[in-house]
Amino acid sequence: MAATDAHQAAHQAIDAVWRIESPRLIAGLARIVRDIGVAEELAQDALVTALEQWPAAGVPRNPGAWLMAAAKRRAIDHLRRSKMAERKHEELAREIEVERKPDFEAALDNEIGDDLLRLVFTACHPVLSPEARVALTLRLLGGLTAGEIARAFLTPEATVAQRIVRAKRTLAEKRVPFEIPEGAELAPRLSSVLEVVYLIFNEGYTATAGGDWMRPALCEDALRLGRILAELEPNEPEIHGLVALMEIQASRLKARVGPSGEPILLLDQNRALWDPLLIRRGLAALERAERLGGRGYYLLQAAIAACHARALAAEATDWARIVGLYTELHALAPSPVVGLNRAVAISMAFGPAAGLEEVDRLISEPVLQRYHLLPSVRGDLLSKLGRLDEARAEFERAASLAQNARERELLLQRARTGG
Amino acid sequence: MRFMMLMIPKGYEKAEAGTMPDPKRVAEMMKYNESLQKAGVLLALDGLHPPSMGARVSFTGGKPTITDGPFTEAKEVVGGYWMIQVKSKAEALEWASRCPGSDNEVIEVRQVQEFADFPADVQDAAAGFSDMQSGAGSKTP
């Protein structure tokens, strides 16, 4: 019994070491072998060796260095066997030389940072589909197993495993270089990375599948990735903007769901349930982003979220400021949904008539034709203006478009009363 | 899940007011803290002044009574903490094991109670649902 427990404890410890070390391990190996699929295999081989040795011998004092040494030995074997041997031998010899130098540790620290960035940019490369980018990023940088990713996205494990295999093959076939993009290429590649992280966060924040409408563990995974990125690229305002946005949104996780699992909208939430630690972190990240001179897509959304986070009660919200931020966001990234949010903010700042005027400008937008929030917002404003018959019709229309059963119920109820 | 790693330095319970850590130790700790930060797991951290600068409030008989530090009966006291967000208790323990702790130091690793850990009645009480308005107010998406 005791032996089994010890064995189990050793396995859990190895899992934990893997979660912590695998991104750096894979990133470092990928630089040597120039193929993230091979790098991952080598890293896993090293892990298997650890699984064989650690339960009996104990976890080494520096498990990361142990794994890296074991994996590098395998990388050398791999290179000797492969056709790349001649080309790479010299490089590897140089690398081993470097390791003997006394300032190796400091050099390695910088190097690891760059390797991790290369790994992030490669895993989020636009040649891959968004689903493949998400799976690969969670696998390689989040240290999640295919099973864990599958459970988080309610997808069969085989599908996720296949997706990862295919993604790695695509990267190899398209000869995607293991590099940090530079110059004009950097901005679009960085937005691809941020998009992947925010996709993961949003899948946790408003799940598109399954009974629960939130999966907080995925939000935590995304936040961890965002925080790592912020450390790797500390001078990039949009990364801090995204981290700020996720921290502030995550601060509301507890308040967003009622006792029977129903969604609770922002202005109806019990603000005492908002997590002050995450709000503080979010506001600090936002300040950092603003200090760096950012005014981008994520920063502006974070700034809007921050207006809500700073208001101790819904009535204390600085709506005029939110209108300004939505106007800026709409100019930067025009979208009817942002326009609709802006109209709501206008109604809160300047009254329902001003809001309605704004909403009516959006009625012909093709994207909003099947979007239940357009008639829902319109109905709400009409109701506030006392035009109850028109409001009822809008709520009915909104209910017919709503996907979520609980939301539909609420809209039908409003359709009956007009209020 | 969140864990608090509580640093318990033996002897700190008797430390004089104004006791400050050794700069060399601080440099080592900073490196450790940086590794937590770079891994995206660190949420917050703080060091605490010794108990001789603090006080205790007890509630015997439902009445608050203040006792100034140091506390003669205390065998060990917290000197600081890290709040981390990780995937498992094993991961929290792995991070704690990497701390450059010295002979007299112990780190106690404790999981933070999450809302979902509570039974329904405790959740309701904690959320204050009883005194919440059933809001069907404005619908900001």
How would you write B38-78 as a 3-class SS string?
Answer: HCCCEEEEEECCCHHHCEEEECHHHCCEEEECCCCCCCCCC
**Confidence band of A370 (pLDDT split at 50, 70, 90):** confident
Residues facing residue B111 across a β-bridge: B3
Q: Residue A410: which of B43, B86, B136 has the nearest Cβ? A: B136
Per-residue pLDDT at A210:
53
Nearest chain A Cα distance for residue B97, angstroms: 9
A17 near B CB under 8 A: yes
Q: Residue B140: which of A19, A258, A344 has the nearest Cβ? A: A344
Per-residue pLDDT at A101:
45
Nearest chain A Cα distance for residue B16, angstroms: 31
Taking the C-alpha atoms of residue B108 and residue B9, their distance in angstroms, rounded to an integer, is 11
A204 near B CB under 8 A: no
- Please state which of the ranges A85-94, A377-386, A406-415, B53-62 shows the lowest mean pLDDT: A85-94
Q: Which chain A residue is nearest to residue B45, measuring alpha carbons? A: A277
* Statement: residue A94 has pLDDT above 80: no
Angstrom distances, CA of residue B101 to CA of B10, B22, B49, B77, B93: 12, 13, 18, 16, 14
In this prediction the ipTM stands at: 0.85
Per-residue pLDDT at B132:
44
- Please state which of the ranges A99-113, A384-398, B7-21, B80-94 shows the lowest mean pLDDT: A99-113
* Statement: residue A114 has pLDDT above 60: yes
Nearest residue to B72 (alpha-carbon basis) of B99, B52, B101 = B52
Q: What is the overall mean pLDDT for chain A?
A: 88
Taking the C-alpha atoms of residue B59 and residue B64, their distance in angstroms, rounded to an integer, is 5
Q: What is the per-residue pLDDT across A186-240, written as a single tens digit (0 to 9) for each?
A: 999 999 999 999 999 998 887 655 556 678 889 999 999 999 999 999 999 999 9
Per-residue pLDDT at B140:
39
Strand B65-68 to B80-85 pairing = unpaired
Whole-model pTM?
A: 0.88
Per-residue pLDDT at B114:
82
Average pLDDT for residues A387-405, to the nearest whole number?
A: 90
Q: Best of B85, B130, B138 to disrupt the A interface by mutation (most A CBs within 10 Å)?
A: B138
Residues 283-302 of A with CB under 8 A from B: none
User: How buried is residue B118: exposed, middle or buried, by Cβ count under 10 Å (0-12/13-18/19+)?
Assistant: middle
Per-residue pLDDT at A128:
96
Rounded to the nearest 5 degrees, what angle is found at the Cα of A179, between the Cα atoms of A175 and A185? 95
Per-residue pLDDT at A11:
79
CB contact under 8 A, B94 and A16: yes
Residues 321-340 of A with CB under 8 A from B: 337, 340
CB contact under 8 A, A20 and B132: no
Per-residue pLDDT at A340:
94
Contact yes or no for A278/A247 (Cβ under 8 A): yes
